[in-house]
């Protein structure tokens, strides 16, 4: 049977690549959503003919509705419109590639409506991991990781009889554009410097997160929720070539790794075709040509965002949500040239002081924490 999918955040980097995979595999695209890019979404609507589409920006949605009058696609608007596309579509798998905390509510809508969630939005799991896992448990639906590291771990875990013998997860990191630099050498870097990522081609927010390694901290938290492994059993290893996408280690010290060229179309495709595998447009890995793979310990003094994320997940509760929101705010301020690179860690840390101390929480608590953390960052600038 032909697979039916929906893509949330379809005009972003992961969204576009997801549609590329869907087109090549001949999947039906049932729903598309984006933030405000009505031009690109109109193009996608004309090409993929989804039943429904939404823009979270209401003015942009009005424009899109006018432009798509001659198509049968129903156009919705606002955060509710996006959630509507997540839950009302008759897709079997929904890819959530929305950027930031905005991806949380739609992720819950996908799971609550009984569909498989292909998750590219790591912030949903970081801020609302507990809520997302509860929703998945209730409907018995799977969360398939799209993030390359988590897809690697997921692939390494295929065929494993139980979680018992799993000793640790080794999350690999490219180290970003400032690898090997001292604090002094990076204190004056700009967003333009940070946007020169050596291996992966990504959106602006995540590229800055990669430069500060906050992204790896988010991935540590994401791995904890996805695979049920304690934070102290998740190691971070800098691997400059981005060929090994992550590894797992068993009790007998046997290590299993997943390798491939750094191209998101492999993990995206696996989330869509799972448990099957198809031919991919990504090139073959030629290890003789690459010659050598290198590994380093992360520099926790320069990249203090790693410590912040580890601290947040160890504290648990709403702390991961708080540092995630503080980072979204600090990341934006850095991209706008309003703060320096080394201010990121200092500002994100202020969120710890305002986080409500609760072990169990609701979606409203997450949004309240979001407000408090962002305000703490703005107050500290």
Q: At its nearest, how many Å lie between Mg ion and the CB of residue 247?
A: 14
Q: Which is nearer to Mg ion, 147 or 328 (CB)?
A: 147
Interface residues for Mg ion in 211-240 (CB under 5 A)?
A: none
Of 39-47, 140-148, 172-180, 185-193, which part binds Mg ion (CB under 5 A)?
140-148
Q: At its nearest, how many Å lie between Mg ion and the CB of residue 219?
A: 6
Is residue 209 involved in binding Mg ion (CB under 5 A)? no
Q: Which is nearer to Mg ion, 84 or 226 (CB)?
A: 226
Q: Which is nearer to Mg ion, 79 or 285 (CB)?
A: 285
Q: Which is nearer to Mg ion, 50 or 145 (CB)?
A: 145
Q: Find out whether 293 and 244 touch, Cβ atoms under 8 Å.
A: yes
Q: At its nearest, how many Å lie between Mg ion and the CB of residue 149?
A: 5
Q: Are strands 166-173 and 244-250 parallel, antiparallel or unpaired?
A: antiparallel
Q: At its nearest, how many Å lie between Mg ion and the CB of residue 210?
A: 8
Q: Which residues pair with 311 in a beta bridge?
A: none
SS (H, E, C) 79-105: HHHHHHHHHHCCCCEEEECCCCHHHHH
Of 36-44, 139-147, 184-192, 299-307, which part binds Mg ion (CB under 5 A)?
139-147
Q: Which is nearer to Mg ion, 93 or 242 (CB)?
A: 242
Rounded-to-integer distance, Cα 112 and Cα 114, Å: 5
**Cβ contacts of 332 within 8 Å, gap of 6 or more:** 205
Interface residues for Mg ion in 252-271 (CB under 5 A)?
A: none
Q: Which is nearer to Mg ion, 30 or 150 (CB)?
A: 150
Burial label, 254 (beta-carbon count in 10 A; 0-12, 13-18, 19+): exposed
Cβ-proximal residue to Mg ion, closest one: 147
Annotate 313-348 with b (16+ C-beta within 10 A) or e (fewer). beeebbbbbbbbbbbbbbbbbbbeeebebbbbbebb
**Peptide bond before 360: cis, by omega within 30 degrees of 0?**
no
Binding mask 148-177 for Mg ion (x = CB under 5 A): xx----------------------------
Q: At its nearest, how many Å lie between Mg ion and the CB of residue 367?
A: 25
Is residue 147 involved in binding Mg ion (CB under 5 A)? yes
**Cβ contacts of 336 within 8 Å, gap of 6 or more:** none
SS (H, E, C) 62-78: HHHHHHCCCCCCEEEEH
Is residue 42 involved in binding Mg ion (CB under 5 A)? no
Binding residues for Mg ion, total number by CB under 5 A? 3
Q: Which is nearer to Mg ion, 45 or 229 (CB)?
A: 229
SS3 state of residue 357: coil
For residue 133, the number of C-alpha atoms closer than 13 Å in the C-beta half-sphere is 15
Contacting positions for Mg ion (CB under 5 A): 147-149
């Amino acid at each position: 049977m032909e697979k039916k999918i929906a893509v949330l955040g379809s005009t972003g980097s992961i969204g576009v690549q997801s549609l590329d995979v869907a087109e090549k595999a001949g999947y039906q695209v049932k729903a598309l959503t984006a933030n405000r890019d009505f031009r690109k979404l109109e193009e996608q609507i004309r090409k993929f003919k989804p039943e429904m589409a939404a823009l979270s920006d209401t003015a942009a949605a009005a424009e899109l509705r006018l432009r798509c009058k001659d198509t049968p696609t129903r156009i919705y608007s606002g955060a509710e419109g996006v959630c509507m596309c997540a839950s009302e579509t008759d897709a079997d798998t929904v890819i959530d590639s929305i950027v930031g905390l905005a991806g949380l509510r739609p992720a819950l809508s996908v799971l609550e409506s009984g569909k498989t969630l292909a998750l590219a939005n790591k912030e949903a799991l970081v801020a609302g991991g507990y809520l997302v896992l509860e929703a998945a448990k209730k409907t018995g639906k799977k969360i398939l990781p799209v993030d390359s590291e988590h897809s690697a771990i997921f692939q390494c875990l295929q065929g494993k009889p139980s979680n018992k013998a799993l000793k640790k997860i080794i999350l690999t990191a490219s180290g970003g554009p400032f690898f090997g630099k001292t604090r002094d050498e990076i204190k004056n870097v700009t967003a333009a410097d940070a946007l020169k990522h050596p291996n992966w081609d990504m959106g602006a927010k995540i590229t800055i997160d990669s430069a500060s390694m906050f992204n790896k901290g988010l991935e540590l938290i994401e791995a904890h929720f996805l695979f049920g492994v304690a934070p102290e059993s998740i190691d971070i290893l800098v691997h400059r070539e981005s060929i090994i996408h992550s590894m797992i280690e068993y009790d007998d010290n046997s290590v299993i790794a997943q390798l491939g060229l750094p191209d998101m179309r492999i993990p995206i495709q696996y989330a869509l075709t799972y448990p099957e595998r198809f031919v991919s447009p990504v090139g073959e890995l030629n290890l003789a040509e690459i010659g050598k793979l290198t590994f380093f310990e992360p520099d926790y003094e320069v990249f203090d965002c790693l410590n912040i994320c580890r601290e947040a997940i160890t504290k648990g509760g709403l702390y991961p949500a708080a540092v995630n929101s503080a980072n979204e705010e600090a990341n934006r301020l850095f991209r706008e040239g309003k703060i320096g690179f080394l201010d990121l860690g200092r500002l994100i840390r202020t969120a710890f002081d305002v986080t409500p101390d609760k072990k169990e929480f609701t979606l409203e608590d997450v949004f309240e924490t979001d407000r408090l953390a962002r305000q703490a960052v703005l107050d500290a600038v």
